[in-house]
Homo-oligomer: A and B are copies of this chain.
Amino acid sequence: MQDIPKTMSAAVLTGHGGYERLELHHDWPVPTPQAGEVLIKVAACGVNNTDINTRIGWYDDSVEGDSSSKAADGLDSVSDDSVAGWGNTGIHFPRIQGADPCGRVIALGDGVLQDWLGSRVITDNWLRDWNEPMNLNKTGYYGSERDGGFAQYTTMPILNLGQINAPDWTDEELATLSCSYNTAEGMLERSGVSEKDTVLITGASGGVGSALIQLAKRRGAKIIALTSASKADQVAALGPDALIRRGQDNWSDVIRSVNGTDKVSVTADVVGGPVFADLMSVLARGGRYVTSGAIGGKKVEVDISHLYLFDWSLIGSTINEPYVFRNLLNYIENNEIKPLLAQTYPLEKIHEAQAAFLEKKHVGKLVITLPE
């Protein structure tokens, strides 16, 4: 067994606020795995919206509008004891964030079989009561209600880990997956996407958006990707059937070129805000709108007469059934999806990585690498 140091480097969030609350420490205590848990030496950990949303306290109900513009300075309305996490309570500080680690198991808590030692793992980020895994009132999120992967070492229950056999994938590539692909696959699962559907995907250059393209394609659906003109070529390379550039107004023509009608059967949205009304205007009768994010704004207007007369379903998708993560492991091992790694940053450049994330000039995922 490898020597376990007492301290480690970690990015530590000390409260809700700007970058100044996200501190780099090199003498942070290495955690100890509890019964049923393992200690993981983290190689790489992906950057996600939730890191920034949690830091600035965007999940608190006092916050309106898009999150990007407030990410550098934080929000006056949010105090450190706001209810601004994924569980029913607030975040406990200090907190190590980071939902997407890839690493190797180097120590075992009580009750864990020796076979786990040395396993290469990624995480199912939903912290659950494993006696009631779908009791939504007993869930939390890794890196929010529990310390995550922006540190050299982290612990997780083995029920939340996937042992992954993917020799073609680097650690950085595997660190692009868990949060975005679980979210995306959960959205497609909950909205029942199949080869019969045409799916309109917003934020198509982002982590969840690009995952949605790959995973909806895997299901045989027709795909229309909504993205900015500047990233259209890169998004086109992901293989959607058609693109709509932000600001373009002939959406119906684009849809018609794909499925012969002027409507889509599914909209998979992570943006919300002003684009919501446009999305509703092209949703077919019986259509499903599924969302897992609202970086463009939380509050939207819904016409209930359309909702019922058109037999629409508006589906929120956050907490997945455990099988969604297990399926994802198979997709990776069967080469049904491929990594979209845009850039890596060492841990000490995590502020720079978040700033780049918010500028949104990249396509795919940014990943933090941890020092050896």
Contact = CB atoms under 8 A, between A and B. Distances in A.
Interface stretch (A162-170, A224-232, A314-322, A346-354): A314-322
Contacts of A286: 136, 319
Nearest to A191: B313
A292 interface: yes
A339 B81 CA distance: 54
A337 interface: no
Contacts of A276: 304
Interface in A263-312: 272, 276, 284-286, 291-294, 297-312
A272 B307 CA distance: 11
Contact of A304 (B86, B137, B291): B291
A308 to B, nearest CB: 4
Contacts of A300: 301-302, 304
A297 B303 CA distance: 9
B318 A311 contact: yes
A292 B308 contact: yes
Given A136-B286, A302-B300, A313 B311 contact: no
Interface string A35-72: 00000000000000000000000010100000000000
Given A304-B316, A312-B316, 16 more contacts: A286-B319, A293-B304, A294-B305, A294-B308, A297-B304, A298-B304, A298-B306, A299-B302, A299-B303, A300-B304, A301-B301, A306-B316, A307-B314, A308-B317, A310-B318, A314-B314
Given A136-B285, A137-B285, A286-B136, A308 B316 contact: yes
Q: How many copies are assembled?
A: 2
A278 to B, nearest CB: 14
A316 B317 contact: no
Given A285-B136, A309-B86, A272 B304 contact: yes
Given A276-B304, A301-B301, A304-B298, A309 B136 contact: no
30 contacts: A59-B309, A61-B303, A136-B285, A136-B311, A137-B284, A137-B285, A286-B319, A291-B307, A291-B308, A292-B308, A293-B304, A293-B308, A294-B304, A294-B308, A297-B304, A298-B303, A299-B301, A299-B302, A299-B303, A300-B302, A304-B316, A306-B316, A307-B314, A307-B316, A308-B316, A310-B318, A311-B318, A311-B319, A314-B314, A314-B315
